[in-house]
Amino acid sequence: MSAATTTAPQVRASHQSVPDARLRFTGVLRSEWIKLTTLRSTIWAYAILVLVQVGMGVVFVLASGGLTDATGQAANQLAVLPSTLGIMLGQLVISVLGVLVISGEYGTGQIRSSLTAVPKRLPVLWAKALVFGVSSFVVGLVAVFAAYAVTWPMLDARGITSDITDPSLWGSLVGGAGYLALIGLLAYFLGAVLRHTAGGIAAALGLLLVVPTVLSFIQAEWATVIGQWLPGVVGQSLFFGSEIFEPWQAVLVMLGWIAVVALPAAILLKRRDA
């Protein structure tokens, strides 16, 4: 057979576009998960969060020698206090981490690589928020239930027997973890707006600590009302309870605060250079 009669099989050119896995939201989520879990600051912050939660619960029980003999709902309320008391310090830790999650990339310039891989930009913002929010909620659950597990036998020895199957007890413990996640997200979006670590941390901690303190010194009804709607005050309804907000109302108010900051964060990400 001659070379002229042998022809190579013709290959039809395909004009179908090959899907880019980097642009899928699942791929962006996977990327942000890798970033979050490989940062030392993340590991240290979450470890400190758990240690503070358990440590403050133990210290509270040891210092409260007068707590004895309680059952039913009263015992459940007493069990919630040491299990969630560490949240008052944990919210500061999670706020700092929330800012660092986004501002750290701006500080190192890595955000340019992220936005180059995802030209639409906004999926990066939402993926970071989702990964960080879910991770913080899970770690918060571990911290709160670890504090309960450690302090429960200490309280039980004093005759304070709580019922872990009680929905109200579960609601308070889960609410504490939810509060940490929501506060972390609020700090995250503040960091996305300011793009600066020090500024973001100052804004987040100022909203949690400074603003409520300043308003408490103002002897006016409007200051009292505003103080009741601040995220750090409203969020405590999720685990300490409140006469003003039901838990579902507190969640809506917290989500409203997050939305108020997330909207400008998204607009600025689209319009400003990295």
Q: Which of 95, 108, 91 is nearest to 39 (CA)?
A: 108
Per-residue pLDDT tens digits for 208-233: 999 999 998 998 899 989 989 999 99
> Contact at 8 Å (CB) between 191 and 100?
yes
The C-alpha atoms of residue 214 and residue 196 are separated, in whole angstroms, by 25
Spatial neighbors of 120 by CB under 8 A, at least 6 apart, are 23
What sections of the chain are H helices per DSSP? 25-37, 40-63, 72-84, 87-108, 110-117, 122-156, 167-194, 197-205, 211-216, 221-228, 231-234, 247-271
The C-alpha atoms of residue 142 and residue 145 are separated, in whole angstroms, by 5
Query: Would you state the structure tokens that stand for residue 13, as one six-digit string?
Result: 């050119």
Evaluate if residue 167 carries a pLDDT over 90.
no
Total-model pTM:
0.86
Per-residue pLDDT tens digits for 69-125: 566 667 777 788 888 889 999 999 999 999 999 998 888 888 888 888 888 889 999
Residue 19: its pLDDT value, please? 47
- The SS3 assignment for 114 reads helix
Mean pLDDT of all residues in 13-17: 43
